[in-house]
Amino acid sequence: MNHTPYQLLGGEEGVRRLCDAFYDCMDQLPEAADIRRMHGEDLSGIRQKLFEFLSGWLGGPPLYAQKYGSICMTGPHRPYAIGPKERDQWLLCMSRALERVGASDEVKAMLERPMHAIADMIRNRESSASA
């Protein structure tokens, strides 16, 4: 039987835990300082938006699309200088978050390429601003 990453992560509760772990990693990892500076002090709003996006993207209810309409990943990120360094920091936080929530090797394997593709699509610079 095929299961979606949403189901394998534990549904709504599991995806919310993943989003919380992701932003906790961003807050705690010195290696993520560049992308942390791109966010406001209060991460509650962006945690919710990531949860809503990931819910649908991982195969659960399309909460983000229901609330905001079509999903454009590049538009909201355009104001920020996102190069390879920032992309890799985002991927590091997501990788660590998956570890923190105890995601299975199956889930990690299912998400590795698509997560990298999304992170690379959001990149809007050939090199990092701080490079």
The model's pLDDT over 54-91, given as tens digits with 9 standing for 90+, comes to 999 999 999 999 998 887 788 888 899 999 999 999 99
**Number of structural domains the chain divides into:** 1
Q: What is the pLDDT of residues 11-55, one digit of tens each?
A: 999 999 999 999 999 999 999 999 999 999 999 999 999 999 999
Is residue 115 situated within a structural domain? yes
Domain that holds residue 102: 5-122
Q: How far is CA 29 from CA 38, 45, 63, 67, in A?
A: 14, 20, 29, 31
Q: Residue 129 — pLDDT band, cuts 50, 70, 90?
A: low
Task: Please check whether residue 75 lies inside any domain of the structure.
Answer: yes
